[in-house]
Amino acid sequence: MNNVAYPIYTFDFTPLLILGCVVLLAGLIVSLYFLIGKNEDLKEIRAAYNKILEAFNELDEQAKLIVKTDLELNKAQEELDRRLTGLNILQKMAQKMNMTLDDNEVFQRFDQTMIAELGFSKGLIATLSDEKVLTPRVNIGMASAKIETFFNALAGEADLIATLQKGVILSSLRSSQTARSLIVQILDAEHFILSPLLTQKKLSGILFVGNNYNAQPVTEGDEEIISILANQLAQAGENAQLFEQVYRSSQILEMKVAERTKELTLALKNLEEVSKKKSEFISAVSHELRTPLTSIKGYAAILMTGKVGEIPEPVKERLAKINLHSDNLVKLINDLLDIARIESGRVEMRPRLQPLKPLLDNIADLLTPQLGAKNITIKLSIPDDIPAIEIDQGQIERVFINLLSNAIKFTPEKGSISVNVIPRPDQEKLTIEVADSGIGIKKEDLGKIFDEFYRAENEINMNVKGTGLGLALVRNIVAAHHGRIWVSSEPGAGTTFHFTLPYKHINKKPEDNKTEVA
């Protein structure tokens, strides 16, 4: 091969010199005999001469063996040197390919210098597309027109393509006459190696190296080196393509995420604007309703006193209903106003240190008539070492009253209700559970019961009037205290509301309180 330095070997001619001397000596002995010897000594001289000839023949065979062995050693040393050179090149190539994940840069590492170090003058790397079209990626020492002609000719040789697909190397050392003719005639390479590039056991390209007619023939070692190099190139090319795919996918994903984030931000802004307008509308309407309601309630109360004249009993009953419904409507308006104020941040919590036990005892006493009407028992479980916590007492009372009133409403007669306070000192908060033995809540209703104006469809709700604002108000009050609330229930197995309250009130705007179900 070209440009490869090999060591110079010497041959030992000593055995031949000795043999020549022996022959010369034998000739001298015979000559002397004929000059001065007697006939009776002729037989002895001939015997000695024959022994010398036998020794000569033995020395000749040994000399031939030495020459043959020396040539074989020279050839083996030469092959070893070429393989070591090839392995060194492969190591350098691997290091270069590990420095990039760009497939173009990977293939460009295969350059003129590397070709020369491998002992070749021509080189080609081509990749095979999904449409089975070969595209040159690296061309060293060959005309583009010849390469195109070679690709067209190779595409028409199904047997050669099938051979490459199997991972078989084609070379001037061992290849079909068809392959040899194509390469020799088109690419002008008498000595060559054509190796497939395989990706996931599929033909993804070819690697070609070759020399002109006057170069040294390729060897099995050359085939091994080029085969390993082809595997390196194929693997590096595949890694580069995978990286490119991942990079493009990540870029597309980032663009989609950015676009989606922009859309969500705009939607959230619009939603906040709608929520703000809704709260403003509720506040305005509530205030407008409260004024005439106050007048209606006041006039009804005056009429009931009889100060404007005697009122018949049927009229008194109707006035009492007007008064009752006015109270209910005022409560509804107050709830709407409270929800709107809490959501908009216009209601400021007034936290103070408050022990829970007396607060819950007072609420239980307040609800005693309702509990007694249905013969429902209530159990308060509050550890003695529960510390006082910072809460707005009035607002937290509304939470307990709403939850316990609902529990009473949905618990059948002779049922039970329990309130459990569980300290979590490691988290600096309390978990409070309000559980009942009532009818329970359907799974499809669990995620909606904290929504404003939502009422689950059940027999009790059909017979009892309500606004669907109580639990929405509870959720907002708990959120304003920087706690969270969730519910667990099964139809026919009762319901448990869980909510948390921090030991200390945090003076910052509460985050959105998301309803959870268990």
Q: Average pLDDT per run of 10 along the chain, which is 518 residues long?
A: 45 54 60 54 68 71 71 64 65 64 71 81 88 88 90 86 85 82 86 88 88 80 84 78 78 88 88 74 69 75 75 79 76 70 65 89 89 90 87 89 89 91 88 90 82 64 61 87 90 90 64 45
pLDDT of residue 518: 45
Q: Cα(325)–Cα(288) distance, rounded to whole angstroms?
A: 17
pLDDT of residue 20: 62
CATH of 352-517, one of 2.60.40.10, 3.40.50.980, 3.30.565.10, 3.40.190.80: 3.30.565.10
pLDDT of residue 410: 86
Q: Where in the chain is the domain with CATH 3.30.565.10?
A: 352-517
State how far the alpha carbon of 352 is from the alpha carbons of 94, 377, 397, in Å: 72, 31, 13
Q: Cα(23)–Cα(369) distance, rounded to whole angstroms?
A: 144
Amino acid of residue 441: I
The DSSP secondary structure of 196-226, one letter per residue, reads EEEETTEEEEEEEEEE-TTSPPP-HHHHHHH
Rounded to a whole number of angstroms, the distance between the first and last alpha carbons of the chain is: 78
pTM: 0.44
**Contact by Cβ (8 Å): 228, 193:** no
Q: Where in the chain is the domain with CATH 3.30.450.40?
A: 103-247
State how far the alpha carbon of 443 is from the alpha carbons of 93, 438, 474, 518, in Å: 64, 15, 20, 10
CATH of 103-247, one of 1.10.3720.10, 3.30.450.40, 3.90.1150.10, 3.40.50.620: 3.30.450.40
**Sign of the C-alpha dihedral, residues 335, 338, 341, 345?**
negative
Q: Which residues contact 337 (CB under 8 A, 6 or more apart)?
A: 282, 283, 286, 287
Q: What dihedral angle (degrees, nearest 10) is formed by the CA atoms of 175, 179, 182, 188?
A: -20
